[in-house]
Amino acid sequence: MRILIADDDPVSRQVLVRALARWGYELTVCCDGEEAWTVLQVEDAPPLAILDWMMPGLDGVDICRKVREQERPNPIYLIMLTARNEKQDLVAALRAGADDYITKPFDYDELRVRVQVGVRIVGLQQALTERVKELERALSQVKLLQGLLPICSYCKKIRDDQNYWQQVEDYITSHSEAQFSHGVCPECYETVVKPELEKMKQARRLFHELS
């Protein structure tokens, strides 16, 4: 999982880098808000970002707000990391679009668990997006037959909207993307095909006897 770290404080930034690298994450590191925003605008941006609140240029709340204004198939999971710990600060960050909020100085176990939650949510979002794409691809190849279809009780032809009678396969082919390959089911083989083959054999035997 790729994670963006944006923090203008070199000490805090280095602590985060060491911890997350040790936990096996691939990191993109930014020193200010403008640089972080540039990285997050690209199509292949890291799916999870840890943002300091107070940074030169754009701060963490500004970045959250701008990211949420973008239309993305997979939203970026945003964690705000800041020394601001008042209730109104938490509300402001979440209202701007942050998904989680961690105060400095942070506890390593808490940070690791919250990042794992973010990774899990990102994975679910990506899986859901891929599933939606698969369904869209499937639906693009399907036409639905709807309504009551008049069908002959004897020959099984279907009456179309112009009051013409068509074979079932002709009707379905003209009203959907389905295609037919013909075969013989076991029941029809026993009741229709096999007796016909026997008749043909008898006819050949009779022909040879007469000739």
**What are the backbone dihedrals phi and psi of residue 80, each rounded to the nearest 5 degrees, phi first?**
-90, 130
Is pLDDT larger for residue 142 or for residue 175? 175
Q: State the number of CA atoms in the 13 A half-sphere of 52 facing the CB.
A: 27
- DSSP SS3 for 114: helix
Question: With bands split at pLDDT 50, 70 and 90, how would you rate the model's confidence at 10?
Answer: very high
E-state strands within the chain:
2-6, 26-30, 48-52, 77-82, 100-103, 158-159, 165-166
Mean pLDDT, residues 89-93 taken together = 92
The pLDDT of residue 144 is 58
Residues of the chain with CATH 3.40.50.2300: 2-139
Of 1-5, 25-29, 127-131, 154-158, the range with the lowest mean pLDDT is 154-158
Mean pLDDT, residues 98-106 taken together = 92
Q: Express each pLDDT in 121-159 by its tens digit.
A: 999 999 998 888 888 777 665 555 666 667 777 777 777
The pLDDT of residue 169 is 73
Mean pLDDT of the chain: 86
The pLDDT of residue 3 is 97
Among 89, 94, 86, residue whose Cα is nearest residue 68 = 94
Q: Express each pLDDT in 30-65 by its tens digit.
A: 999 999 999 999 989 999 999 999 998 899 999 999
Among 79, 84, 83, 94, residue whose Cα is nearest residue 25 = 79
Q: State the number of CA atoms in the 13 A half-sphere of 11 facing the CB.
A: 2
**What are the backbone dihedrals phi and psi of residue 68, each rounded to the nearest 5 degrees, phi first?**
-70, -20
The pLDDT of residue 195 is 84
Mean pLDDT, residues 55-78 taken together = 91
The pLDDT of residue 209 is 73
Is pLDDT larger for residue 194 or for residue 18? 18
pTM of the model: 0.66
Among 56, 121, 49, residue whose Cα is nearest residue 81 = 49
Using the 8-state DSSP alphabet, how is residue 154 labeled?
T
The pLDDT of residue 91 is 93
Residue range 2-139, CATH number: 3.40.50.2300
Question: With bands split at pLDDT 50, 70 and 90, how would you rate the model's confidence at 74?
Answer: confident
- Do the beta carbons of residue 53 and residue 85 sit within 8 Å? no
- DSSP SS3 for 128: helix
**Percent of residues, the chain, with pLDDT higher than 90:** 49
